[in-house]
Amino acid sequence: MAEPIRIVVTGAAGQIAYSLLYMIARGEVFGIDQPLILHLLDIPPMAGVLEGVVMELNDCALPLLREVIPTTDPNMGFKDVSAAFLVGAMPRKEGMERKDLLSANVKIFKVQGQALDKVAKKDVKVLVVGNPANTNAFVCANYAPSIPRENFSAMTRLDQNRATAQIALKLGVSVSNVSNIIIWGNHSSTQYPDADHGKFFIEETQKSVSRAINDESYLRGAFVETVQKRGASVIAARKMSSAMSAAKAACDHMHDWWNGTAPGQFVSMGVFSDGSYNSPKNVIFSFPVEINNKKWKIVEGLTLNDFAKSKLKLTGEELQEERNEALSVLDASASNL
């Protein structure tokens, strides 16, 4: 068997982590032959809860789980980790936009970027789940200059899964038959869920999603809105933000980064923009990517119509505004020291 690898989950005493830790420890992300040492990072008031999570993980009697290390010290939490799930942050409540969390949460990602820079493996793969996820990932990467920027990503896989599920429902097929649904831009209500390049299989024949649905008003209207507002709908119903589906999406994102995507298929990830598709550079923007040998590459050459272009512009502008606000929050907190 392989040597164990170290994986950290932050916010390990919270809702998402409660589902996520079990999925990781079962081998659903790094494989059923890969032993794991799990680092559980949270803040000091949650130390007692963390102990309970450790007890439960041990009680699951999972063969791949070699050790569980609970900690409230980022330098211990990130020490020698190969992958980091950055979940720990305040969730939004009913009536808030995700960017309303910015001033509370970006400071967390500065500290964690600095700790990753100091003690994590240099090839660590970082997935930011805590909101506002794209801007937090941008901040984290900027405070970890010794780790390549392409190792930082933000989660839009939940949006992709939501969009894929809506399309599968509309077509009356299983989600496993639908692929290449794209999320562009920010993990916010300006994101653009795009089914124009989507494919599905029926009786072993590949077909185009948009041609089969053949209803522009649905694909530009109810479909886009349902996905954009799904996080808020879950909060309105549960009085808490999505957790089980967020944990599943985090596993899917890291699984594909670690293991690669199938030929001809792509997935959406928030990554540093190189200006592809006229997006603003130097923000974390969600693009369709293909992954090989643990390296993602933006899928180039897709045709965008004017509707899509206007949506990408809007979400790109929001990301630039968030980035500038985050930098001013961090500047202000630095000058208050």
Question: Is residue 164 at the binding interface for ligand LMR, with CB under 6 A as the rule?
Answer: no
Is 209 annotated in a binding site? The answer is no
Residue 164 in contact with ligand NAD, rule: CB under 6 A: no
Separation CA 313–CA 317 (nearest Å): 6
- Closer residue to ligand LMR (CB): 70 or 270: 270
Near ligand LMR by CB under 6 A: residue from 124, 158, 168, 251 = 158
187 is a catalytic site residue: yes
Helix count and strand count (H, E) for the chain: 12, 14
The neighbour count for residue 121, using CB atoms within 10 Å, is 18
Name residues whose C-beta falls within 8 Å of residue 218's C-beta, 6 or more positions apart in sequence. Answer: 170
**Residue 234 binding result from ligand LMR, ligand NAD, none, given CB thresholds of 5 to 8 Å by partner type:** ligand LMR
Q: At what angle do helices 133-142 and 306-335 cross, to 10 degrees?
A: 50
**Residues 281-320, mask of contacts with ligand NAD (x by CB under 6 A):** ----------------------------------------
Residue 220 in marked binding region = no
**Two structure tokens written together for 188:** 């916010």
CB atoms near residue 67 (< 10 Å) = 11
Cα(288)–Cα(264) distance, integer angstroms: 12
Residues 258, 83: contact at Cβ < 8 Å? yes
Sign of CA dihedral 291, 293, 296, 300: negative
The torsion angles phi and psi of 235, rounded to 5 degrees, stand at: -65, -45
The region of 109-117, 212-220, 234-242, 304-312 touching ligand LMR under the rule CB under 6 A is 234-242
Q: Which residue is nearest to ligand LMR (CB)?
A: 231
98 is in an annotated binding site: yes
Q: Is 275 left (phi over 0), alpha (psi -120 to 50) or beta?
A: left
Candidate segments 113-121, 137-145, 167-175, 235-243, binder of ligand NAD by CB under 6 A? 235-243
According to CB under 6 A, which residues from 9 to 48 bind ligand NAD? 10-11, 13-16, 41-43, 46
Site string for ligand LMR, 100-139 (x = CB under 6 A): -------------------------------x--------
> Binding residue for ligand LMR (CB under 6 A) from 74, 130, 231, 316?
231
Q: Which residues of 193-219 are buried (b: 16+ CB within 10 A; e: fewer)?
A: bbbbbbbbeeeeeebebbebbeeeeeb
Question: x-or-dash pattern for ligand LMR, window 58-97, by CB under 6 A?
Answer: ---------------------------------xx-----
Name the binder of 253 from ligand LMR, ligand NAD, none, CB < 5-8 A by kind: none
| Integer Cα distance of 142 and 98 in angstroms | 21
3-class DSSP string for 29-87: CCCCCCCEEEEEECCHHHHHHHHHHHHHHHHCCCCCEEEEEEECCHHHHCCCCCEEEEC
CA separation, residue 132 to residues 137, 273, 306 (Å): 9, 17, 27
246: contact with ligand NAD by CB under 6 A: yes
Residues that bind ligand NAD (CB under 6 A): 10-11, 13-16, 41-43, 46, 87-92, 108, 129-131, 133, 155, 158, 187, 241-243, 246
The residues annotated with a catalytic role in the active site are 187
Residues that bind ligand LMR (CB under 6 A): 91-92, 98, 131, 158, 231-232, 234, 241-242
Bind-site residues for substrate: 92, 98, 131, 162
Bind-site residues: 42, 92, 98, 105, 129-131, 162
